[in-house]
Amino acid sequence: MAKHTYGTGGFLLLYTGTTPVPSLIGLPTTVAWDRGERTEYALEGSVFMAGAALQWLRDGLQVLASAETSEAIAAEVSDVHGVYLVSAFVGLGAPH
């Protein structure tokens, strides 16, 4: 099971079960939930500026009318010529 949430950042939790699993690439092991009698774990990956980058494009640069329009604008691009924006202005999170 995996869960990805978007807000200011983007966070992916990958359920690993009742035993903490160390990541081979440096992701932190976190508590997924604790039901009192047992604790269950997940690995977590983070991009801290995922949603905030869209807000910056909308409010700061004013190149988007709304965050929702970003998908339609991105779909219009037929070739990015190898150029990508990684919205990691304050870091990618673990393990980078």
What are the pLDDT digits (tens) for 53-71?
888 899 999 999 998 898 8
Q: For the whole model, what pTM was predicted?
A: 0.65
Q: CA 3, CA 15: separation in Å to the nearest integer?
A: 8
Q: Which fold has domain 2-75?
A: Nucleotidyltransferase; domain 5 (3.30.420)
pLDDT of amino acid 78 = 94
The two beta strands, 2-6 and 10-17, are antiparallel
Burial label, 21 (beta-carbon count in 10 A; 0-12, 13-18, 19+): middle
Average pLDDT on 62-88 reads 89
